[in-house]
Every structure is written in C-alpha cells, then in structure tokens.
Chain A
Amino acid sequence: MAARVQSEPFDPALVTAGLGDGAGALVTFVGIVRDDGDLSALEIEHYPGMTEAALADYGQGAAARFGLTGWRVVHRYGRMAVGEQIMMVATAARHRRAAFDAADYLMDWLKSRAPFWKREIRRDGSAAWVAARDEDEASLARWQAGRPLGPP
C-alpha cells in the first residue's frame, strides 16, 4: 500500500525502499513534533476507514496531476513525544520539479483535508486541541486558483 496509517514509529529509509526505481528524482518530507517551549507531546486522533481512503485518494490525485512514478504517505496517530516523527510523504518522478511540487501539494491536502486532529499536551499536563490555521487553507487554495505550479 502506498498510504499507511499507523501508531508505531516508521523508518523513512524503509518507507522509500525501491521508490526511486525508474525515477530521476525522489523527494521526501518528514514532519516532526516541534518543541515550542513547553510542549510535551502530541496526541493525534483520526477517522479509521476514512483516513486510509483519503490518503490513497490524495496520493493518487498527486500521482495523476504531476505524473509521478511512485509515492508513499505514512501518517501516525496516537501519542508522540517532542522530536518524534509524525508523518512522511515521498514522491518520485522523472524530474525534480514534479517530485517537489507533488510533495508540497500532498502536504497541503494532508494538512487540511485528511481526517486527523492534533491535541497538544503541555509539560504542566494541560491539553488543548490545535486550531486549523488560515494559512493552511490558503496554501491548499493556491493549487486551485491559477495552478501556479506543476502540470495541469
């Protein structure tokens, strides 16, 4: 499966194994739980069933739009401490621009349209759901408005 949803950590090298075969470019992005001062951990909830389908759908959409030779998405759920890897996207294409753009495009979709919800756990034990950011919506919208990057 090109899309995976799991609670366990992942090894990017294993995720991308063989993905560059027949390609000229392989781009990977790994999201990491960022230490913003007093963050202890993230808890990520998801919608089992829909999540897997949505990741596969967005991956296939990116593959078609950018002419990818291959792609992988891994996204974790559950509790992750600061410094742990949350998710990754890998895109392979004949040329670098398509691979970079497809990774960027996929990330914009995952941020705002994949059914995950983050909760921040602070060092004092308090917790709060992360609010969606307007700039993430704006990032996604730029692929629709005028399509500045990548093939149509």
Chain B
Amino acid sequence: MAIEVLYFAWVRERVGLPRERIETGAATIRDLLAELALRSPGHAAALEDHAALRCAIDQKLTGLDAPLAGVREVAIFPPMTGG
C-alpha cells in the first residue's frame, strides 16, 4: 500500500525531507520505522530511538504499535512542545 509519511522538527531535519510517499507492507508504525530507517543514514539517525518519537495516523495521535491497514497518512515527530 502507498502511504504518505510526514516528518516534523528534528525528525524532519535528520531525515532531510518534510514528507515522502512510500510503498510498504508494514503492519504497524513500529515496523514502518524499521523499514524507513534503512532508506538513508539520515533516516536511521532520525528513527532509531523509538522512545524519542511520537506519531499520528491520519492526523490523530496514536501509539507506535497502531496498525497501518487502510491508512493514508502517517506523521512521525518528537514529543510536542506547544503552549
């Protein structure tokens, strides 16, 4: 399936892209992170520490073990610092 993956803040900087469209068979976000980490040294540096990452599926916050079936957009980012 094709998924739009978005990156924000230092995840975006390390990956070197704000977004990319990928073909994946990953079952969960955690599986997707492992796949993405193989794409470049920047991806690896951004995505290796799962504890430092938060994510959203179709613009809703979710955990890293959330299933990806039927998903259009996944966003990966550091803990949020609003307010």
Residues of A whose CB lies within 8 Å of any CB of B are 31, 44-45, 47, 49-50, 53-54, 75, 86-87, 107, 110-119, 129-132, 136
Contact = CB atoms under 8 A, between A and B. Distances in A.
A118 B75 contact: no
Contacts of A113: 61, 80
B79 interface: yes
Given A45-B8, A113-B61, A87 B78 contact: no
B77 A111 contact: no
B34 interface: no
B59 A49 contact: yes
Nearest to B13: A129
Given A110-B83, A116-B82, A53 B59 contact: yes
Interface residues of B, number: 16
B83 A47 contact: no
24 contacts: A47-B6, A47-B75, A49-B59, A50-B75, A75-B82, A86-B83, A111-B80, A111-B82, A113-B61, A115-B56, A115-B77, A115-B80, A115-B82, A116-B83, A117-B8, A117-B77, A117-B78, A117-B81, A118-B82, A129-B10, A130-B81, A131-B81, A132-B78, A132-B81
Say whether chain A's binding surface is mostly helix, strand, loop, or mixed.
Answer: mixed
Interface string B46-83: 00000000001001110000000000000101111111
